[in-house]
Structure 1
Amino acid sequence: MKPKTKLVQTANGTNYLVPFVLITTLFFLWGFAHSILDVLNKHFQDALSISKTHSALIQAVVYGGYFLMAMPAGEIIRRYGYRTGVITGLILYGIGALLFIPGEQIMSFPFFLFSLFVIGCGLTCLETAANPYVTVLGEKESAERRINLAQSFNGLGWICGPLVGGLFIFTTNKEESSVAIPYAIIGTLVLLAAILFSRIRLPEIKTEEPVTAAQTATKRSLWSHGNFVFGLIALFFYVAAQTGINSFFINYVTEQTTISAREAALWLSFVGMGLFMAGRMTGSWVMGFVRSERLLASVAIGGILSMIIVIAGLGKISIGAFFFCFLCESIMFPTIFALAIRGVGEHTKRASSYLIMSIVGGAVAPLIMGYIADTVNTATGFIVPLICFAIITVFALYLQKH
């Protein structure tokens, strides 16, 4: 049993509730941006007559943006602070979203990919700034709880993405469907948020760790922290698993049942992402009593079991396993992130940049799964997230031993 700590207050009494609330709103914005991709994946397969492997480039360009932009984003934050990183991310996100308006007229897949790449660069800045910032807005012992609570609103964005995308894109009348409308709305909101953040101040917080006598002569390298190095690997595979599962959920459900893509998108929104959000909120509370490493190991094993059932192709039973997997996935990203930067001290901002780079895993898994789906079948492709969950389990067990 862990001792209780205050969530957004430091030991000396400093309260960070206001900056915590402001930054938490950003988690919703990138949750929406990621989850609507799963609707686009199926939409472009039908509208542009492309293969599953080809449509997986949607995820590849967004998550590729994370890999290319993470270090520049980290440099912006180190030089100019968290607020500048947030504003830069919001502006890029807004511009990329508004590019969908001319994109719908052109109906060029490469143009859509370029728009999504710009969005991905914006999301990189947001995540590089917001994730580590949330972990330091209070006592370090409550970092995992704090980031899981903030990520709960990311889960709300994951609910709204498939819902809005399904309603606007998967319509019964093709003439009424529009890929531009949801992006025009979110793009406008994001640019308004950029204006808001440009007019407020966020406290810059220096992360300091007590220095031992042995460390006074030589500073400890970031790469000497085993939890960071292994966490970097685990985060790569987690994002690969999550993105692959979400990308082909609609394909899997429409192939295993008789329901339409529109209905499958609503299932993904309300049931899958609803459980995802509920899991994060519950996980934040549970971590007040159970060590985060132990909880991470349990849910990773749950992910392995659910993927075995999905691969078996058991119809509704396998779809039920999908929903259980969404519940298991819920706490993984924020928990791995917080555990990876635990104890890195002054390296926190640089560590965050590397961790955000690892999100490129989301570009890899959909391509591999799309190829397997095109050459074998969709169900077999889910062996990729199964392997990813196994690696996360090993990471959690490693932390328990160390």
Structure 2
Amino acid sequence: MKKNTYTIPLALVFCLFFLWAISSNLLPTMIRQLMKTCELNTFEASFTETAYWLAYFIFPIPIAMFMKRYSYKAGIIFGLVLAAIGGLLFFPAAILKEYWAYLCIFFIIATGMCFLETAANPYVTVLGAPETAPRRLNLAQSFNGLGAFIAAMFLSKLILSGTHYTRETLPVDYPGGWQAYIQLETDAMKLPYLILAILLIAIAVVFIFSKLPKIGDEGETASSDKMTSSGKTKEGSQKEKLIDFGVLKHSHLRWGVIAQFFYNGGQTAINSLFLVYCCTYAGLPEDTATTFFGLYMLAFLLGRWIGTGLMVKFRPQDMLLVYALMNILLCGAVMIWGGMIGLYAMLAISFLCL
């Protein structure tokens, strides 16, 4: 594709960053909500995150093989539809009211989102000059921050009611008793995921009728014939690998993967229990906690945008070092002081999660 035709494909890919951010950043709210509806403790509820991110551990390589064999566009459409199906499954799950059912749903949604993430990052890097790829990727991640902010500030308020009763603390005059309360809290989870499913289906339709550039040799099977310089095919003598693990020989890539592992682990750990921290250790009511969660994601969004601008003047690797050191100090503040000081430190951590 020519340079002036990159705008529409990039806009579509940026939508994917927005969508999977909504999906993953509803999880902290769901942890808090499932503690009510399924009567879970914090440890049990945290398996919500495990079920979701387990898909990211299992499927990226098979998905990459699928996309290289068929196309990245086909993978994106399949992922959008699969995630939408997962969102709609909240309706039968609200009838079943079993924790394992929700874990299965999160796994399905995450698998769909895995298709999107596997395709989106390569697209961002090829839709433009190679030297500006880090800035494009960080700009795309700012749309991820926008989705995270919307999920935290607005969709979370559709789910959390502000009340957290147990069987022992439920008022004796509560209309309909315990079952009515549980049903009310369970039904509150359906609307945000219905909205997400509608968005996913709508974007899938747009992708179906959109033209996207090919990435490398996508769409070619491993056994497809390749012509050598002498005019002979390489079939039978050398089969192309769908996944080339030889790239791990590059030290920069290896260290990048290691850094990404710890970055995602730390970010997920803080995100997933942010609302639990607000309510349990900072003593905030749920409605105030969701507002702070929105501010937490707003800090993430602003940090992305400001970081993208700073990359014009500073080397990305230098910024990474400075941000990492500052986050280490802020994590220490959370551990030492806790309470509201720890909460504000986590807001700063979110801002520095470039």
Shorter-chain TM range is 0.7 to 0.9
Q: Is the 8 A contact 2:26 2:152 kept in 1?
A: yes
Deviations 1:369-396 (A, max 9, x none): xxxxxxxxxxxxxxxxxxxxxxxxxxxx
Q: Is the 8 A contact 2:161 2:286 kept in 1?
A: no
Alpha-carbon distance in structure 2 between the residues aligned to 1:227 and 1:185:
40
Deviations 1:3-53 (A, max 9, x none): xxxxxxx9x855411111111011110000011000011111122221211
Q: Relative to 1, partners in 2 of residues 1:40 and 1:324: Cα closer, same or farther, differing over 3 Å?
A: same
- What is residue 92 of structure 1 aligned with on the other side? 82
1:170 correspondence with 2:195 = no
- What is residue 311 of structure 2 aligned with on the other side? 287
Which letter does structure 2 place at the counterpart of 1:235?
Q
Alpha-carbon distance in structure 1 between the residues aligned to 2:23 and 2:322:
29
- What is residue 135 of structure 1 aligned with on the other side? 125
- What is residue 259 of structure 2 aligned with on the other side? 234
- Give the RMSD, CA atoms, in angstroms: 1.9
Alpha-carbon distance in structure 2 between the residues aligned to 1:185 and 1:233:
35
Alpha-carbon distance in structure 2 between the residues aligned to 1:13 and 1:56:
45
Which letter does structure 2 place at the counterpart of 1:266?
T
DSSP 3-state at the match of 1:288: coil
DSSP 3-state at the match of 1:221: helix
Q: Relative to 1, partners in 2 of residues 1:222 and 1:315: Cα closer, same or farther, differing over 3 Å?
A: same
- What is residue 276 of structure 1 aligned with on the other side? 300
Task: Write 1 or 2 for the structure with the bigger share of helix.
Answer: 1
How much does 1:75 deviate?
1.0
DSSP 3-state at the match of 2:127: coil
Deviations 1:339-370 (A, max 9, x none): xxxxxxxxxxxxxxxxxxxxxxxxxxxxxxxx
Q: Is the 8 A contact 2:20 2:144 kept in 1?
A: yes
Alpha-carbon distance in structure 1 between the residues aligned to 2:256 and 2:302:
24
- What is residue 334 of structure 1 aligned with on the other side? none
Which letter does structure 2 place at the counterpart of 1:256?
Y
Q: 1:321 aligns with which of 345, 348, 351?
A: 345
Alpha-carbon distance in structure 1 between the residues aligned to 2:27 and 2:309:
30
Q: Relative to 1, partners in 2 of residues 1:99 and 1:86: Cα closer, same or farther, differing over 3 Å?
A: same
Which letter does structure 2 place at the counterpart of 1:39?
T
TM normalised by structure 1 equals 0.73
Q: 1:186 aligns with which of 196, 200, 205?
A: 196
- What is residue 269 of structure 2 aligned with on the other side? 244
- What is residue 288 of structure 2 aligned with on the other side? 263
Alpha-carbon distance in structure 2 between the residues aligned to 1:41 and 1:81:
35
* Greater gyration radius: 2
- What is residue 306 of structure 1 aligned with on the other side? 330
Q: Is the 8 A contact 2:3 2:128 kept in 1?
A: no
- Structure 2 matches for 1:33-182, cutoff 5 A? 33-172=23-162, 174=181, 176-177=184-185, 178-182=188-192
How much does 1:88 deviate?
1.3
- What is residue 344 of structure 1 aligned with on the other side? none
Q: 2:210 aligns with which of 200, 214, 225?
A: 200
Q: Is the 8 A contact 1:35 1:162 kept in 2?
A: yes
How much does 1:265 deviate?
1.7
- What is residue 241 of structure 2 aligned with on the other side? none
- Structure 2 matches for 1:330-341, cutoff 5 A? 331=354
Alpha-carbon distance in structure 2 between the residues aligned to 1:311 and 1:88:
42
Which letter does structure 1 place at the counterpart of 2:332?
I
How much does 1:98 deviate?
0.6
Deviations 1:225-260 (A, max 9, x none): 111111111111111111100111111122233321
Which letter does structure 1 place at the counterpart of 2:41?
S
DSSP 3-state at the match of 2:161: coil
Alpha-carbon distance in structure 2 between the residues aligned to 1:13 and 1:236:
33
Structure 1, unmatched stretches of 5+, are: 1-9, 208-218, 332-402
Q: Relative to 1, partners in 2 of residues 1:265 and 1:220: Cα closer, same or farther, differing over 3 Å?
A: closer
Q: Is the 8 A contact 1:42 1:251 kept in 2?
A: yes
Structure 2, unmatched stretches of 5+, are: 164-180, 218-243
Identity of matched residues, %: 31
TM normalised by structure 2 equals 0.83
- What is residue 360 of structure 1 aligned with on the other side? none
Residue correspondences, number = 308
How much does 1:307 deviate?
0.6
Alpha-carbon distance in structure 2 between the residues aligned to 1:310 and 1:260:
20
- What is residue 370 of structure 1 aligned with on the other side? none
Q: Relative to 1, partners in 2 of residues 1:172 and 1:18: Cα closer, same or farther, differing over 3 Å?
A: same
How much does 1:164 deviate?
3.5
How much does 1:89 deviate?
1.1
How much does 1:176 deviate?
4.8
How much does 1:117 deviate?
0.4
Alpha-carbon distance in structure 1 between the residues aligned to 2:37 and 2:184:
13
Q: Is the 8 A contact 2:87 2:197 kept in 1?
A: yes
Alpha-carbon distance in structure 2 between the residues aligned to 1:321 and 1:293:
23
Q: Is the 8 A contact 2:82 2:108 kept in 1?
A: yes
Which letter does structure 2 place at the counterpart of 1:261?
E
